[in-house]
Structure 1
Amino acid sequence: MSAVKVKRIASGWEKVFNVVLLIGIAALVIPFVKWAIIDAQFAGTERCTNSGACWVFIKLRLQSFMFGFYETAELWRPILVLLLWAVSIVSLFKVSYGRALRVLPFILLGMPLFSWGLLDGRWFGLSHVETTRWGGLMLSLMITLMGLSFAFPIGLLLALGRMSKLPLIKAGSIAFIELWRGVPLITVLFMSSVMLPLILPPGSEVDKLFRVLVGVALFTSAYLAEVIRAGLRGVPSGQAEAAMALGLSGPQRLFLVVLPQALRSVIPSLVNSFISLFKDTSLVIIVGMFDLLGMVQQANTDSYWLGYATEGYLFAGLVFWVICFALSRFSLKLEKAHA
């Protein structure tokens, strides 16, 4: 058989496959659009009586999905905290590296402390809102942002420690990294929230969310250490040698020459770590905390709204997808800006 005939046959089969694929997609999409939009109910305050989706359930539960059980009169606090986080992160990548280096300690240390203090309330003389009332998307974002803020400096030290020529420091860093990378996050959360109180002195008590944050930070730092180490390895040795020839000290060589190039090369991996941790926050439900997905599951137990789990899970999945997609696009813009 000639090559021309083979190409024609292959092209014919491709057309058949494309037609079948389009029919299959249409068979799935059309009923979904009919259920989700055409026959759906968007207005009202009671149970839906239509055959389509009941988005009234999402509308009435939206506040709890976003902020958990946080006091309605105090919602300005989590909104302000999230806005400040967004401004801080965007500003960090908009300013020059020198300014970013000066702002970074505030973001890594100041923002988590400010966020905790404002949301808790007692540090600023506001009404106290217990961490057990924090929930929804706010809790997912707070665990992600605070966890990464604490994990990044630890991961940087571990990466440098693993590259150290001192055997004890190198061995300790390797042991820490491999230990935490070899344990599932769900086990870390269980140990920090359930097992840790059993070994604490009698009468001592540590906030559950704080224990979760410590476990998340240590777990994430092990992965960030390997990401940062890969970036440091990718910087040509001539860069550090040139900086040494200019008379720069060790910390100056690291922070002014080597680290900027290393972090620039691992931006996709760092953003991927952020996305992965954000999605993993759904695991906190096993320790009795209600993130976005946990609040959806809790709402599904309401006897008045039974039967609307599909709408709740679709909403949660859409929120996770939008945030993760926005982060991936932001990562691409950063790559192009620093290329």
Structure 2
Amino acid sequence: MSDITASSFVRQDLVSERPAPIKTSGLVGLLRTRLLNSPTNILLTIVGLLLLWFTIIPSVRFLVVDAVWTGSDRGACLTENAGFAVGACWPYIQAKLPQLIYGFYPEAERWRVDLALILAAALLLPLLIPRLPAKGLNAGLFFLAFPAVAFFLLHGGGITGFGLSWTAGLLELFDDSIVSAGQVVLGLSGTSAIAPLLWLIGHLITLLGVAIHWLIFPLTWLRDQIQQTGQPVWVDLVLTAAFVSLTGFVLGGGMRGGGRALGSSIATFVAVAIIIKLMGLDHGGLPIVATNLWGGLLVTLVVSVTGIVTSLPIGIALALGRRASIPLIRIFSIAFIEFWRGVPLITVLFFATYMLPLFLPGNFSVDGLVRALIGIALFTGAYQAENVRGGLAAIPRGQSEAAAALGLSWWKTTALIVLPQALRHVIPNLVNSFISLFKDTSLVSIVALFDLLGSLRASFSDPKWATPSTAFTGFAFAGIIYFLFCFGMSRYSLFVERRLNAHRRN
């Protein structure tokens, strides 16, 4: 038996050496496994190298090798003076850099733009770094306090009232609009075939406006009394703080749980009072700089950041409204989304800039930049609604059913369970829309707003820098700026995706 075992199962000679494994890492591994491992990949590699040779090499030569770096006028960028074929004319960018950043913003007031940008970076960076604490406070400062501070820094001016006065003014404007609409309908009744019906509708609308007038009369009377005091801003601020703080205290549970809401409200209004005092908003504030003097990268950032920040809440509300069980809300959301997605952005900008003032009361006007911001926010919000709706559709019904079984309300289920998961699913789509919006801000130049590209085109008219390479240099510089911002948003979105999906295994 032992002889049979030894001869049948025991090897008598050594196994021959196996070939060394093919290296699959590093440059050699990349060449073997990806670039040169088949005839098709070899052909694609050759074509790719040729494309890089005919694109990257000329770009580097134009931007760096053959570029002119110093000079005081166009003479330094001319071939006959430089002695070689001149590429990029970087002295032109150095000379026009303030115009490309600030537009026509007064030079003595540009520190306000710098301060606004520094505040934005100081508040945004801690939000983007996950390990830093106090995200709630930081988000409140960035999304609520910073827009008001940035507006008064960039635009200037002061305030003559606060919450109660502003509320009374908006309600009074709404009332005037209703009365004006009633008068228009009454005017049409004299020449229409359905004159009795229009006459009735006109009087009903006018009576509604009169009713609203008497309903808001106590608030408007209080506003007039506040304006007659020696310190209308501070009186209005104190009254508004008292009303809001007491409301939060009562809604928060009164003596049992309303203390936190009361303390937060008081702290917020104290911070607002400090900002008003430091910026002198109660005494005229800073000198006013009209928005038609803004331009360059300033307008690009204002339009893009405002559109990004405001479009996402609009998109979330519309996406939830489109899935609502109430027919009126659902129909309104669908109509809104389909309307704004059915028209191009340039049409929206034209409508917001030139047509919107025709629908406003005669005593009310909206700044041109604000009109463009409203149009862009509504337009982008419609697209974001479909992105968010796709994320909501990816959440199984079992999530909502489990939350309902635990006794959670629809609001808590949506805010704490469904919406966070839905937004995590659509991060690439959301960031893609943000990147597209950042690049589409160049369309505002159509409606006489000088963004980065608009200021760049305006700088081409300066004969001091008129050279054959000026335009190419300017567009190359603008392209680099756009690429840096868009590439940064893309890489950060990948970081967020990896971090939020770290618990999943591929």
TM-score (norm 1): 0.88
Choose between structure 1 and 2 for higher RCO, CA contacts under 8 A separated by at least 6 residues. 1
For residue 69 of structure 2, the aligned residue among 33, 42, 48 is 42
Residue 24 of structure 1 deviates from its aligned partner by 5.3
Q: Does 1:294 align with 2:454?
A: yes
Query: CA deviation digits over 1:155-179, x for unaligned, max 9?
Result: 2211111000111111110000000
Alignment-derived partner of residue 243 in structure 1: 403
Superposition deviation, residue 262 in structure 1: 1.4
- Contact persistence 1:109–1:150 (CA under 8 A): no
Q: Please list the CA deviations of residues 254-291 of structure 1 after superposition, one character each: whole Å capped at 9, or x if unmatched.
A: 11111111111111111111111110000000110110
Identity, in percent, stands at 46
* C-alpha distance in 2 between matches for 1:66 and 1:24: 34
Structure-2 residue corresponding to 1:233: 393
Q: 1:145 to 1:11 in 2, by over 3 A?
A: closer
Aligned equivalents of 1:165 and 1:99: distance in 2?
37
Q: What do residues 63-97 of structure 1 show as CA deviations (whole Å, max 9, x unaligned)?
A: 1111211222333322332333344444335459x
C-alpha distance in 1 between matches for 2:130 and 2:39: 55
- Tell me if 1:73 matches 2:108: yes
Aligned length: 329
* Structure 1 match to 2:156: 121
Deviation at 1:27, TM superposition (A): 4.2
Q: Which runs of 5+ in 1 are unaligned?
A: 1-9
Hey, what does 1:306 align to over in structure 2?
466
Moved more, 22-31 or 234-243: 22-31
In structure 1, what is the equivalent of residue 336 of structure 2? 176
**Superimposed CA distance per residue, residues 281-305 of structure 1 (whole angstroms, 9 cap, x where no aligned partner):** 0000011011011111111122222
* Mapping for residues 197-236 of structure 1, pairs under 5 Å: 197-202=357-362, 204-236=364-396
Question: Matched residues in 1 for 2:412 and 2:359: separation?
Answer: 43
Q: Give 1:11 deviation, angstroms.
A: 5.1
In 2, the alpha carbon distance for the partners of 1:151 and 1:27 equals: 40
- For residues 256 and 175 of structure 1, the distance between their equivalents in structure 2, rounded to whole angstroms, comes to 28
Return closer, same or farther for 1:83/1:126 CA change in 2, 3 Å cut-off.
same
What's 1:4 paired with? none
The answer to whether the 8 Å contact 1:107/1:149 transfers is no
Residues 71 and 91, structure 2, Cα contact 8 Å, conserved in 1: yes
**Superposition pairs of residues 258-297 of structure 1, within 5 angstroms:** 258-297=418-457
CA distance in 1, matches of 2:331, 2:442: 33
Whether the 8 Å CA contact 1:112–1:146 is kept in 2: the answer is: no
Structure 1 residue 219, shift from structure 2 partner: 0.6
Tell me the distance in 2 between the aligned counterparts of 1:306 and 1:265.
50
What pairs up with 1:131-170 in 2 under 5 angstroms? 131-170=291-330
- Partner in structure 2 of residue 328 of structure 1: 490
Matched AA of 2:473 = E
Deviations 1:163-196 (A, max 9, x none): 0011111111000000001110000001111222
Taking a change above 3 Å as real, the CA distance of residues 103 and 175 of structure 1, as seen in their structure-2 partners, is farther
Distance 1:245 1:210, change over 3 A: same
1:54 paired to 2:81: no
3-state SS of paired residue (1:75): helix
Q: CA deviation at 1:139?
A: 0.8
Q: Is the 8 A contact 1:54 1:311 kept in 2?
A: yes
Structure 1 Cα separation of the partners of residues 386 and 136 of structure 2: 21
In 2, Cα distance between equivalents of 1:297 and 1:22: 34
Partner amino acid, structure 2, of 1:238: G
- Point out where structure 2 has 5 or more consecutive residues left out of the alignment: 1-36, 159-278, 280-284, 502-506
**Cα 1:320–1:334 shift into 2, 3 Å:** same
Stretch moving more, 292-301 or 253-262: 253-262
Change (3 A) 1:17 1:255: closer
Residue 157 of structure 2 aligns to which amino acid in structure 1? R
Q: Secondary structure of 1:76's match?
A: helix
Give the Cα separation in 1 of the matches to 2:413 and 2:123. 26
Give the Cα–Cα distance (whole angstroms) in 1 for the partners of residues 401 and 41 of structure 2: 56
> Displaced runs of 4+ in structure 1, greater than 6 A?
none
Cα separation, 2, equivalents of 1:275 and 1:171: 30
Task: Give the conservation status (yes or no) of the 8 Å contact 2:439–2:482.
Answer: yes
Separation of aligned partners in 2, 1:32 and 1:260? 43
Provide the residue aligned with 1:7 in structure 2.
none
Residue in 2 that maps onto 1:5: none
Q: TM-score, normalised by structure 2?
A: 0.60
Q: What displacement does 1:18 show? A: 4.2
Matched residue SS, 1:34 = helix
